[in-house]
Structure 1
Amino acid sequence: MSIRSGFATAMFAACLLGTPDVSRAEIGSDEPHLDTAQPPEDPRDVPDSDFPYELRKVADKLESPWSLAFLPDGRILVTERPGRLRVIIGDQLQPEPVSGVPSVLCCSHSGLLDVLVDPHFSDNHRIFLSYMHGTPEAGTIRISSAVLEGNELIDKRVIFESRPAANGLDQIGGRLAFGPDHALYLTIGDRFQMERAQNLLDDGGKIIRINTDGSIPDDNPFVGRSDALPEIFSYGHRNPQGLIGNVGDGQLWAVEQGPKGGDELNLVTAGSNYGWPLVTYGTNYDGTIISDKTSAPDLVDPVHYWVPSLATGSLVSYYGNVMPDDWRGDFLVGSLAGEALIRLRMDSGHVVKEERYLHHTIGRIRDVAVAPDGYVYLLQDNSEAALYRIEPLTDQVARAKSPQ
């Protein structure tokens, strides 16, 4: 490998009607579609008959949800892009959203995005939200820190805002994660302005790293340089939408969407350039060439890539006891255009096998999450969507149905 609220809802609906694909408004122009020439059957597809699990609908009538997170007391938080933070208690969606959520720019694929729970939530009740702010012509992505008290957010602070403000409402990234170093990371897309990804004075097309109070870590790779923003951790990304740092290998991993072809799984390291748009396995949507190179010196090669694109939307590492033993340590990817749960079997940092489950069963999968009890949750991507939990059909296939 070379180094290679009502008003918000109305506004959101109005913006969706202005997207290029009105008939499938929930599919943004930032997410690739499957190549129609792809065979209907793929050897990586696992038939539902060979998957001894069923989908239980936990909650429905969610409006364009984007992310979910688990609280220590069993509550589930779900973001809706129009600007609502919803709560699920005992598999029941609570009628009233959390109050005090920051105002968001909620057009197209923008809006309220990720929710991340502080590791010390039991003591500080703090969560972090990522969201778009500003106007369609001058929008930024923000991280807000807030305390969840009852059903209200208090002590709200904006701890990060991308720069410069830019036009465009698609291809925005937005995924939050804690790294193995306990720093806070955020993915930022290039918003269809590919040149931004190589500009170190621009947060577009980057993964940024900050402390939880918003300060910049002293050991960030570009700290002290006049030609780079100090928050940048890595660059040369197109639209990273999955990010994890809890794998147990001390590494940071990301999945990002390519154009027509070229979705990637990347091992993310400090100061590295991941090549977009200098190298890519994809082409423009009209078939024209972006680059004739898929690899080049000093650019980080992907650990795994997809051609055609599946529109990778999320990434988790499985660590529970509900799924079979050989799932532990594997990566699970939510696929949007591919409409499947993708399992990447990992061995020493390499993908040794890919399997695809629940193909076209629930449609587009926006987020995948593993609950503390080991169950896998899938969040649909749609204007009216549902949250599902994967449950064993029989006790024999479950290693445990309760925490050990």
Structure 2
Amino acid sequence: MIQRTVLSLVMTLLMTAAAMAQPRVEVAVDDLTHPWGMALLPEGDLLVTERPGRLLQLNPDTGERRVIGNSPAVVARGQGGLLDIALHPQFEDNRWVYLTWAGACESGSATHLGRGKLGDGELTDFETLLVAEPCVSSGRHFGSRLVFDRDGHLYMTTGDRGQRDRSQDPHDLNGAVLRLHDDGSIPADNPFADGAAGHPAIYSFGHRNPQGATLHPVTGAVWIHEHGPRGGDEINLPASGENFGWPLMTHGREYHGPEIGPDTLPGMVDPIHHWTPSIAPSGMLFYTGDAFPHWQGHLLVGALVQTHLARLELDGTTVVTEDRLLEDRGRRIRAVEQGPDGAILLLTDHADGELLRLTPRDH
């Protein structure tokens, strides 16, 4: 009898702890159309991209929204459209907003990068900084995450556009991580800056479709993740001039079953973590807030296919534990951001998409 009572108490405590580990979820804004990227403005509003082509300014407290004019024309086909957004590190002084999008070009479409100054309800002085050529007719794998490092370099990810061998061509701007100055010019210390062995904008290559990018809060290193095929989603640390292997090596398989390549090869960089089977990762954030103090330093990753928020505890670059949050909601989590109060903000990629706010249950 005593043993049953003790067992019952232990089970109750475990269930309570599991429940407390799940944050409170609030729908802050709804009726969004396939939202893709977001950036937090200094005054607390959010800029949110919608894949069909709208750029919105949202108040996450009131739900008030307005369309920002003069955003670029997009090719909203397949996985393409208006994609990521980032603010210049000195945004409060210069008002520069950076966007990526699938844009038309002579032989189809390509991932574009541009910037404009946020004025009163519109972007001004908008300019295209880079087109990830060559252009193709594919509607897949645009990549397209943006992150500034601590030195002010802008990193941009590009996908292989569904044409995998392009990732192994260092002269092709697709299937790569690009590194630029804030005006789109090429840093002199880029690995292929002279153009002889690769395109000057390329920092690393051999990537499939990276849709997450963030800075490590301690080291300042750029971390990315990328979609594998059937398995083999990866977390990688881009390194100057390095080849990350796709499609010559991968933990994933062809969608129809056969192996694509070995898990590792000499001279290529292994991922620090992989998901097999795939979760389809999108959005990425190191949590540093006070609202969830036990999560500080943990990596948060959205999942599209597995429809959850992954929380990864790390020891250096080694994943120690991984939890799955919000599985019961069945929502494709596209982007992850941290609010000024430490709340976690998520975008769900649906025709009836939402901005979700996560706070602790004891709040």
- What interval of TM-score do these two structures reach, taking the shorter chain for normalisation? over 0.9
Assess if the C-alpha contact under 8 Å between 1:180 and 1:252 holds in 2: no
TM-superposition CA deviations, 1:125-163 (whole Å, max 9, x none)? 111000011169521111111100111110111111111
1:352 to 320, 323, 327: 320
Alpha-carbon spacing, 1:47–1:193, altered in 2? closer, same or farther (3 Å):
farther
Counterparts of 2:156 and 2:73, CA distance in 1 = 19
Superposition pairs of residues 65-214 of structure 1, within 5 angstroms:
65-134=35-104, 137-214=107-184
Assess if the C-alpha contact under 8 Å between 1:48 and 1:358 holds in 2: no
TM-superposition CA deviations, 1:48-75 (whole Å, max 9, x none)? 7242521111100000110111000111
Alpha-carbon spacing, 1:48–1:107, altered in 2? closer, same or farther (3 Å):
farther
Superposition pairs of residues 361-380 of structure 1, within 5 angstroms:
361-380=329-348
The number of residues matched between the two structures is 348
2:291 to 316, 319, 322: 322
Alpha-carbon spacing, 1:133–1:326, altered in 2? closer, same or farther (3 Å):
same
Counterparts of 2:17 and 2:265, CA distance in 1 = 38
Superposition pairs of residues 267-306 of structure 1, within 5 angstroms:
267-291=237-261, 293-306=262-275
Assess if the C-alpha contact under 8 Å between 1:59 and 1:386 holds in 2: yes
1:386 to 354, 357, 363: 354
1:308 is aligned to 277
Alpha-carbon spacing, 1:227–1:356, altered in 2? closer, same or farther (3 Å):
same
Alpha-carbon spacing, 1:329–1:106, altered in 2? closer, same or farther (3 Å):
same
Say which SS state the counterpart of residue 98 (structure 2) adopts: strand
TM-superposition CA deviations, 1:156-192 (whole Å, max 9, x none)? 1111111111221111101111123320011100011
Counterparts of 2:310 and 2:325, CA distance in 1 = 6
2:4 is aligned to none
Assess if the C-alpha contact under 8 Å between 1:105 and 1:135 holds in 2: no
Q: What residue identity is the alignment partner of 1:149?
A: G
CA shift at 1:95, angstroms? 4.6
Q: Which moved more, 1:179-188 or 1:104-113?
A: 179-188
2:193 is aligned to 223
Give the superposed CA RMSD: 1.6
Q: What residue identity is the alignment partner of 2:286?
A: S
Assess if the C-alpha contact under 8 Å between 1:112 and 1:131 holds in 2: yes
Q: What residue identity is the alignment partner of 2:242?
A: S
Assess if the C-alpha contact under 8 Å between 1:136 and 1:168 holds in 2: no
TM-score calculated relative to the size of structure 1:
0.83
TM-superposition CA deviations, 1:366-395 (whole Å, max 9, x none)? 111112221101110111111100022214
Q: What residue identity is the alignment partner of 1:332?
A: L
Counterparts of 2:238 and 2:60, CA distance in 1 = 36
More relative contact order, 1 or 2 (CA 8 Å, 6+ apart)? 1
CA shift at 1:194, angstroms? 0.6
Q: What residue identity is the alignment partner of 1:235?
A: F
Q: Which runs of 5+ in 2 are unaligned?
A: 1-15
CA shift at 1:352, angstroms? 1.1
Q: What residue identity is the alignment partner of 1:376?
A: I
Say which SS state the counterpart of residue 100 (structure 2) adopts: strand
Assess if the C-alpha contact under 8 Å between 2:167 and 2:174 holds in 1: yes
Counterparts of 2:239 and 2:217, CA distance in 1 = 15
Assess if the C-alpha contact under 8 Å between 2:22 and 2:326 holds in 1: no
Rg comparison, structure with higher value:
2
TM-superposition CA deviations, 1:276-298 (whole Å, max 9, x none)? 0110001111112211x101111
TM-score calculated relative to the size of structure 2:
0.92
Q: Which runs of 5+ in 1 are unaligned?
A: 1-45, 396-404
1:259 paired to 2:229 = yes
Counterparts of 1:182 and 1:115, CA distance in 2 = 16
Q: What residue identity is the alignment partner of 2:167?
A: A
Q: What residue identity is the alignment partner of 1:239?
A: N
Alpha-carbon spacing, 1:349–1:156, altered in 2? closer, same or farther (3 Å):
same
